Amino acid sequence: MAEERKPRPDKERYNRMILVRVLILTGIFGFAMFVPLSMKLYNVAITQHDELEQRAIDQATSSYPVTAGRGTIYDRNHNILAVSASVETVCVSPRDIARDKDADAKKKIIADGLSALLDVDREMIVERMERTNRANETIKMQIERELADEVRQFIEDNKLTRMVFLEPASKRYYPNGSFASNILGFVDRDGKGLMGLEAVYNKHLAGAPGYTVRAKTGQGMPLPNQYEMYYDVLEGYSLVLTIDETIQHFAEKHLETAVIENEVAQRGCAIVMDVKTGGILAMATKGDFDLNEPREIADEATRRWLDSLGEELYADELSIAQQAQWRNKAVSDTYEPGSVFKIFTAAMAIEEKAVDIHNDRFSCGGTISIPGYSGRCHKAAGHGSQTFLETLTHSCNPAFVNIGMRVGPEKFYDYMRAFGFMDTTGIDLQGEAKGIIAPYENYSRYVSSQAVYSFGQTFTVTPLQMLTAVSAVANGGKLMKPYMLSQVIDADGRVAEKTDATLVRQVISEDTSRLMCEYLEECVNQGTGSNAYVKGYHVAGKTGTSQKRAQDITGEKGLYVVSFAGFAPSHDPQIAVLVMLDEPGLDRHLRMGGYMAAPVAGRIFADALPYMNVIPQYKPEEAMSADVTVPFVKRAAVSEAEAAAKKLGLTVRVIGDGESITDQLPAAGVRVPLKTEMILYTEGTKPEESCLVPDVRGKTPGQANELLTNAGVFMRPIGAKPSPDAVLTAAWQEYAGQEVPRGTVISVEFRSSNVDD
């Protein structure tokens, strides 16, 4: 019994075996297997937490950009020059289309509907819809409100929500087309500034987009009870330029006329600057381009030439032509200033007292002969003995060689630097160049360089450098930094930034400046600048003509740059104007700054100064021919009418035997020159028939007046004033060959061709 109660040996072995093996299994499945699981869990959930969770969040959120409206560009009077408008972009979601039950039917509806609505290629839509892993394929960009509404209706009618959708976008409009195109610049497809001020101030204009971040499910639906976050949009700032739309318009109009009239091959530019601040009131380049279609070649001849090219050349040449038309000539091109530069040679000579302005005489025998250089004066016979002022009004090269030598190379070079010709002006525009001026060692080594530099040849400047320096001469010797941006205003109209006029340096004294203003006015009154003359506005300035050496070594082609730089009124300079025409055509003898560029500047002055409310101040001899306003004399007694007219300086012719005036010519309120003959009718009214305006171009003032008076219209002469030693001819007139009502006042511009510089 006792043995039986003992555990059997195999029972004991069995128990031990079970114990050991259960313990092994417990070790494996109760403990060991949890070790790798815990480690891996830690690795994924803790170590990789940040990275993978971010990816999870990225996939579970969509951010909807809220685009910032691009700021507006205004002129100084808040006229709009460039503005953005909301448009919409039509997109399809191929992924959502593919998921639809009737995917094929929907595809057909979409392709047919959108191609018809949006006028896009049906094949393109079909092809885009094949990209079924994409959720956003653009079909058409920048459609306007009305069309967008039609698309919305189309989506609703055909239940295409999420398959076709519209995204907000913005489009840049330039209300004035080609106006100020070379300075405003334009934007690319995405609304980023690509050229001009649009590019320079892109950051200001662009603002910063906002975002709405929204959690969504894997099917794109909003997550219940989940967050939405908003990042505020920062609307783009608007720019207020120093540009004055009206003055820019004057400059463009007159420049364009000149470029066409003078058959200018390499475009021309005109700049109008506020003398006292350096602010740019106008900066025009012609030919230009349409800002709304910047990639179209505006110049017809170039376009025809491009079309004639083969395909392989076309793309490259198109790109070159585009770059060329986008180029802002006023800051990016350089030219030899020629005689305009004599302003500075004269100014530095006065400042340095290198000349005695009252007593020194400068003789000119028609030739220059110094070691290493021989040249001629434009007046072959020579100017003879001249006062200092006369050297300037004659624009006499031999005299200026002399004056330059008196200043001395070191000072001369320093003044060139001081007037800003060695540096860019720092204007807030793209692509500003600076002229090529010889290093001092090279310049000073040769007397010949020193000689030709003093009348502005063999070095180059940009038009902007030149006008900035001319403004310094006019502005009491203060060189200002030119600028385009006046103010930055935020979306609420508050001023965020403001440009203050920046004085770069005082170059010459106020006394010298005052003297130069007088002298330069004389250059216009009786010198080579006479065609820039504007009655009552005291225009001062200097002309320049320079041969394009690089392209025309022999001078046979007659490639010239003609220019004029000046300011007005000379006693209190307000604006400075530069006009530069690159490679004008016409008769070679007329390719002169005084003949081609000065009248353009004159017209700009004539338009801009009255617009700026600068009050004309007539000199005694000008007052004799100043314009007067025709009085209202109808129903007055004949004697009273005659008295009123004569009091104003008009002459009178009475037609008929009545006792009181029944009609008058010109009509009341019209501005006419003094001594104009008023016609007073005492019986009936003035003849109603119109009259043909004869073409008086090429005629002298006397001949022209006679022709026009006989034709029944009045002449109003503008341009160069009559002087004993200049022959004036009509160069431009209104309404030539057209029918106008009797008594119309016709402006005729007279030009002196005796303006050789």
Residue numbers at the binding site for other proteins (CB under 8 A): 1, 14, 17-19, 21-22, 24-26, 29-31, 33-34, 36-38, 40-46, 48-49, 51-53, 55-57, 59-60, 133, 215-219, 223
CB of 230 to other proteins, least distance (A): 20
Distance separating the N- and C-terminal Cα atoms of the chain: 150
Task: Name which of 19 and 116 has its Cβ closer to other proteins.
Answer: 19
Q: 665 near 678, Cβ under 8 Å?
A: yes
Task: Name which of 31 and 669 has its Cβ closer to other proteins.
Answer: 31
Task: Name which of 41 and 624 has its Cβ closer to other proteins.
Answer: 41
How many other C-beta atoms can be found within 10 angstroms of the C-beta atom of residue 189?
Answer: 9
How many other C-beta atoms can be found within 10 angstroms of the C-beta atom of residue 420?
Answer: 25
CB of 225 to other proteins, least distance (A): 9
* Tokens, residue 668: 């009341």
CB of 31 to other proteins, least distance (A): 8
CB of 209 to other proteins, least distance (A): 25
CB of 48 to other proteins, least distance (A): 5
Task: Name which of 10 and 307 has its Cβ closer to other proteins.
Answer: 10
CB of 96 to other proteins, least distance (A): 14
Q: Which residue do the tokens 């909807």 mark?
A: 64
Amino acid 110 reads I
- CA dist 713 and 705 (Å) reads 9
> What are 720-725's contacts with CB under 8 Å, separation 24+?
720/530, 720/531, 720/533, 720/750, 720/751, 720/752, 721/525, 721/530, 721/533, 721/535, 721/622, 722/750, 723/526, 723/530, 723/752, 725/526, 725/754
Question: What DSSP line would sit under 599-612, residue for residue?
Answer: HHHHHHHHHHHHHT
CB of 34 to other proteins, least distance (A): 6
CB of 64 to other proteins, least distance (A): 18
Amino acid 69 reads G
Task: Name which of 55 and 619 has its Cβ closer to other proteins.
Answer: 55
| Residues contacting residue 114 through CB under 8 Å, at least 6 positions apart | 90, 92, 120, 125, 139, 140, 151, 154, 164
Task: Name which of 63 and 89 has its Cβ closer to other proteins.
Answer: 63
Task: Name which of 30 and 702 has its Cβ closer to other proteins.
Answer: 30
DSSP state of 69: P
- CA dist 380 and 383 (Å) reads 9
- CA dist 182 and 330 (Å) reads 9
* DSSP reduced 3-state for 749: strand
Task: Name which of 99 and 571 has its Cβ closer to other proteins.
Answer: 99
CB of 62 to other proteins, least distance (A): 13
Task: Name which of 2 and 380 has its Cβ closer to other proteins.
Answer: 2
